Amino acid sequence: MKTGNRFVGIANAKQKLQRTLSQRIKMASAVADVPKGHLAVYVGENHKRFVIPISYLSHPLFRDLLDWAEEEFGFNHPMGGLTIPCTEHYFITLTSSLS
């Protein structure tokens, strides 16, 4: 391997590592603002983020919503969290009735 190619390879590896670390830092900071006993979910077309108590997971109405989310999206979520396929208004109305 020539020295020039080696330096290019090292530079590319360094950039890749920096991008990976940057993404992980962003994810960690997003997780850090979720209080203990809560989780983040993404709702609606714009994937607005809501932080909800985990106690909602055991409520029958919320479980129906989760079943719908599983049918619609499965468990592979591009946002890194649970995506719920309903409008923000519906989600807010539902969670308000659970509180």
| Per-residue confidence band for 19, with pLDDT thresholds at 50, 70 and 90 | low
Q: How far apart are CA 28 and CA 51, in angstroms?
A: 15
- Beta strand ranges found along 1-99 (DSSP E): 38-43, 48-53, 82-84
Residue 16 is predicted with a pLDDT of: 63
CB 7 within 8 A of CB 15: no
Q: How far apart are CA 63 and CA 70, in angstroms?
A: 10
Residue 43, domain member (yes or no): yes
Domain span at 93: 11-98
Residue 3, domain member (yes or no): no
Per the structure, the count of domains in the chain is 1
- Among candidates 43, 37, 35, 81, which has minimal Cα distance to 62? 43
Query: Has this prediction a pTM greater than 0.85?
Result: no
Residue 19, domain member (yes or no): yes
Q: Is the pLDDT of residue 27 over 70?
A: no
Residue 88, domain member (yes or no): yes
Residue 1, domain member (yes or no): no
CB 49 within 8 A of CB 41: yes
